[in-house]
Structure 1
Amino acid sequence: MGIIRAHISKLVKQILTRHGLMLIRPTTRFGHDPWADIQRLAAAWHYPIAMVFDVGANDGDTACLALDRFPNARMVSFEPHPDTFKCLMKRLGGHRRFVGVNMALGTQSGSVDMFEYPSSKINSLSDTAQYAVRYRQEGRRISVQSITLDLYCAQNNIHAVDILKLDTEGYDLMVLQKSRAMLERGAIKFVYVEFNDLQPMEDAMGGDLISIDAVLRPYGYRFVASYNDYIATDGQMFGVSNALFALPPIQ
């Protein structure tokens, strides 16, 4: 049996090599490090990682990590809150591969309301994001600038976004819905998005994985893995996680 398995494995490798593909062994662990998972899939599919969008950048933690893990990539970070944007630019403004945009990615272009909370990490274009509803947080309404992903790419001559990271506190689904042109062209290879549960939460906006999958799947995207940040067990259980979706090449 061992000889037969070895022979089959050799044949599979030969077939994959003939088509320019790489074998990712079943024992390879996915769901631990999203950036490592993206690197492995990108290598298997021969996807260059040249452009990363960090939507909801806050003060730049994700941007710093992605710039380090993808040394050939340009980073465009979107952060609409004026004070948080200043922190972001102080931290990364001098980096030659970094561009900071003091705008939200959303459903329209122009001035929109943002809800500001004591922690900048939960600022949102919605006042009913799951975290705010769960912890009964009341936001202060401020005005910020917004643009859709499709329009930003068109205005800035960006033809491909290799990694789209979304952390917009309940607005991720709406960002994707207004990215139709890029999604239809297969111009976004990986989507890394925050979620709180599989199903929608009553009286809250966004944060559910099933709705996000329903938007992405018709364009050919497939769920890869989830990455949990934490689960609160007091009272109503509440989780904060991220999900990775990938667009496999058409065979």
Structure 2
Amino acid sequence: MPNPWDLPDELPTDPPLTRCELPDGRVVSAVQEAEAHTLWEEISSAAPYRRAAEGLRPDEAVIDVGAHIGLASLLFAQLAPDSRLIAFEPAPKAYTCLDENLARHLPGATASRQALGAAPGKSELIYRPYVASASTLYDNAEDDARNLEVHLDNVDANEQTREVVRRTFNVTQRVPVEVTTLTAVMAEHGVDRVGLLKIDVERGELDVLDGIDPARWPGIRRVLLEVHDIEGRLGQVVSRLAGLGFQATICQWGVYVGGSVHLVLAERD
């Protein structure tokens, strides 16, 4: 990590895309190389991610909402190669990487530059070019600061690293994005059965669930969500899924212990 005092006074808001090599030798397009390596390590080693893709059937789709550059999609396709995969990412540069990565490694998959929410329309994305995975439609500076500091504490970051991370995290752009619903997505793509619905949308998880018509829920077998537990949201999500017949398992990655971010895997037969 560079010395923070070596950073320019004004960080570029449009840094160039890059490429990086995953541990298995696959080369992927990335917004930031360090972020891609960190995310792949987290995702590929997380038991809920692997459990979520186990035993998926060829007639079941995988829908990746908040796909970023497609790392979770790559893992799911590796574990369930016969399932159809549809991935959504509204951030323009992250979407460019997603589209390239799916075309390169999963040519049968579909990438879409849309956000998913409770109703179709337009919204504004707060895009973080140095931490694109933290881009969001749902601004909450207090929650962001809490999770950032917890993460830095849990990795025992030194003061120079903390300063670099804070500065880069606070570089943002506001980008208009199109919003659709999961109900509309399933209709558009002719999907009746979803073996795995993965949602990682930085505080927008309830809105994504609100965009699923009751008639569509019987066709969804597993849901993997990142939930920010703000104002009881974790309990709301688990209760809603339980009411739909799902059994939920909740955990936290070690770097988020003490923060609001939880991982929920909800399953049913």
TM-score (norm 2): 0.67
Q: Secondary structure at the match of 1:62?
A: helix
Name the CA shift for 1:129/1:33 in 2 (closer, same or farther; >3 Å). Answer: farther
Conserved 8 A contact 1:49-1:163: no
Conserved 8 A contact 2:67-2:73: yes
Q: Secondary structure at the match of 2:62?
A: strand
Q: Secondary structure at the match of 2:118?
A: coil
Pairing partner for 1:142 from 153, 175, 186: 175
- Matches of 2:141 and 2:206 in 1, distance apart? 12
In the other structure, the counterpart of 1:124 is 136
Amino acid at match of 1:243: V
Pairing partner for 1:216 from 227, 232, 241: 241
In the other structure, the counterpart of 2:34 is none
Say what the alpha-carbon RMSD is for the aligned residues.
Answer: 2.7
- Matches of 1:99 and 1:161 in 2, distance apart? 15
- Matches of 2:112 and 2:96 in 1, distance apart? 11
- Matches of 2:184 and 2:98 in 1, distance apart? 23
> Following superposition of structure 1 onto structure 2, how do residues 44-123 of structure 1 map, counting pairs within 5 Å?
50-94=60-104, 95-117=106-128, 118-123=130-135
Q: Deviations 1:57-92 (Å, cap 9, x if unpaired)?
A: 001110110000001111111001111100111212
- Matches of 2:108 and 2:238 in 1, distance apart? 31
Conserved 8 A contact 1:161-1:188: yes
Amino acid at match of 2:243: P
Conserved 8 A contact 1:75-1:98: yes
Amino acid at match of 1:210: G
- Matches of 1:38 and 1:232 in 2, distance apart? 20
Gaps of 5+ in 2: 1-45, 149-165
CA drift of 1:169 comes to 0.3
CA drift of 1:131 comes to 4.2
CA drift of 1:93 comes to 1.8
Kindly report structure 1 stretches of 4+ aligned residues shifted beyond 6 Å.
Answer: none
Aligned-pair identity in percent equals 25
1:240 aligns with 2:261: yes
In the other structure, the counterpart of 1:226 is 250
Pairing partner for 2:226 from 194, 199, 212: 194
The structure whose residues are more often helix, as a share, is 2
Amino acid at match of 2:219: A
- Matches of 2:222 and 2:142 in 1, distance apart? 24
Conserved 8 A contact 2:186-2:192: yes
Q: How many residues align?
A: 202
CA drift of 1:108 comes to 2.2
In the other structure, the counterpart of 1:15 is none
- Matches of 2:88 and 2:51 in 1, distance apart? 24
Amino acid at match of 1:37: R
CA drift of 1:159 comes to 0.9
Amino acid at match of 1:214: S
CA drift of 1:189 comes to 0.2
Q: Secondary structure at the match of 1:75?
A: strand
Q: Secondary structure at the match of 2:253?
A: strand
Structure with higher RCO (Cα < 8 A, 6+ apart): 2
In the other structure, the counterpart of 1:174 is 207
Gaps of 5+ in 1: 1-31
CA drift of 1:181 comes to 3.3
Greater C-alpha radius of gyration: 1
